[in-house]
């Protein structure tokens, strides 16, 4: 499955792009542009790293839109959450399916 083309974050549709240098080369694996409503994911990574990168940028968005500016820029916390959530879901696929099941 290819990288999704977009994701809806609350009321905004963010475009997702696979690029050579996320953030104009300022970021290693991903970048979220809040003003341009776009997420850039590095195109030279494994699928697992792409998925972690997308989760990483989504955590930045969660902190940004919920007013937690200090956490939005804390790369250690954002990275820890992204890596661990991805690992938990990947290792426990039934839990992931259950979480996504329609109520």
pLDDT greater than 90 at residue 42: yes
Q: Report CA-CA distances (Å) from 14 to 11, 71, 72, 81.
A: 10, 21, 17, 21
Which structural domain range is residue 48 located in?
6-100
Residue 61 falls within a domain, yes or no? yes
Write the CATH number for 96: 1.10.10
Look at the chain and report how many structural domains it folds into: 1
In this predicted model, what pLDDT tens digit does every residue of 10-41 receive, in sequence order? Answer: 999 999 999 999 988 777 799 999 999 999 99
Query: Tokens 């696979």, residue?
Result: 18
Torsion of CA 43, 89, 65, 5, to 10 degrees: 40
Residue 48 falls within a domain, yes or no? yes
Q: What is the total residue count of the chain? A: 103
pTM of the model: 0.91
């Amino acid at each position: 499955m290819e990288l999704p083309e977009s994701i809806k974050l609350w009321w905004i549709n963010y475009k997702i792009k696979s690029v050579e240098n996320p953030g104009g080369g300022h970021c290693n694996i991903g970048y979220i542009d809040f003003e341009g409503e776009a997420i850039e994911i590095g195109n030279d990574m494994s699928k697992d790293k792409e998925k972690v990168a997308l989760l990483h940028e989504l955590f930045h968005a969660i902190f940004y839109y919920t007013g937690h500016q200090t956490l939005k820029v804390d790369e250690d916390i954002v990275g820890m959450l992204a890596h661990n959530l991805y690992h938990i879901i990947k290792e426990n696929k039934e839990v992931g399916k259950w979480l996504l099941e329609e109520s």
